[in-house]
Each structure stands twice: as structure tokens, then as C-alpha cells.
Amino acid sequence: MVLNIKNPEILADAFSKLVQDIQFSEEEIRDDVEDKGDYFIVMEENRAGSHFVHIVPKELYDEFRVLQTKRPQDLVGSAILVGRKNGKEIYATIFGIHEFFE
């Protein structure tokens, strides 16, 4: 599959900031979607028994939502463990980024 993601460097910068925010924030992870312009931040309170925070490029959001709905407890891409809160691991992902490395 060939992806045409606009400005991948924006996603890389956003991911770095996201990891720092998660590690140093006292905020709880709750199900939520934040529109950040070029991408969404999708927070899931419980996926596969853990917290997940995804950066999802706008051009892949519909595909992400299909996977999120059809496979609610499966991983939807490569994830990095970034911390723990309330006895749950917190993982961060950039949905679709694995395609850059194939």
C-alpha cells in the first residue's frame, strides 16, 4: 500500500511532544478525539487492557475508525510503551507510520 501523507515531519514532531505530554501529565486518559489540524489525537481509555493515545493523519482517519470499531481490543498499529497510570500501561502510536518503513 502506498500512502500519501502530507507533512510527515509534523507527525514526527507531534509524536515526540505527545510522548512527553503523556509522561509528565497528571491528566487521566479518557476516550476522546482532538482535532489538531493535520491530524487527530485519539485517546482510548481501554484497548487490550491498556490506555492508548494515537496520532491519526486526517487522510487515514476513516480507515482508523473502521479498525477501531471492528477490532476494539486489537492493536491497530505499532505501539510504544510510554508510561503507566492507574495500573494500566499507556501506549502511543502514529497510525499508518509503519508504512514509511516497509
Q: Give the predicted TM-score (pTM) of the model.
A: 0.85
Q: In this structure, what C-alpha cell is assigned to residue 23?
A: 509522561
Residue 92 CB contacts under 8 Å (≥ 6 apart), including other chains: 15, 18, 19, 22, 52, 53, 54, 55, 79, 80, 82
pLDDT of res. 1: 42
| Residue type at position 29 | I
Output Rg (C-alpha) for the chain, integer angstroms. 13
How many CB atoms within 10 Å of residue 54? 24
Q: In this structure, what C-alpha cell is assigned to residue 13?
A: 514532531
Residue-wise pLDDT tens digits, 21-56: 998 888 888 999 999 999 999 999 999 889 999 999
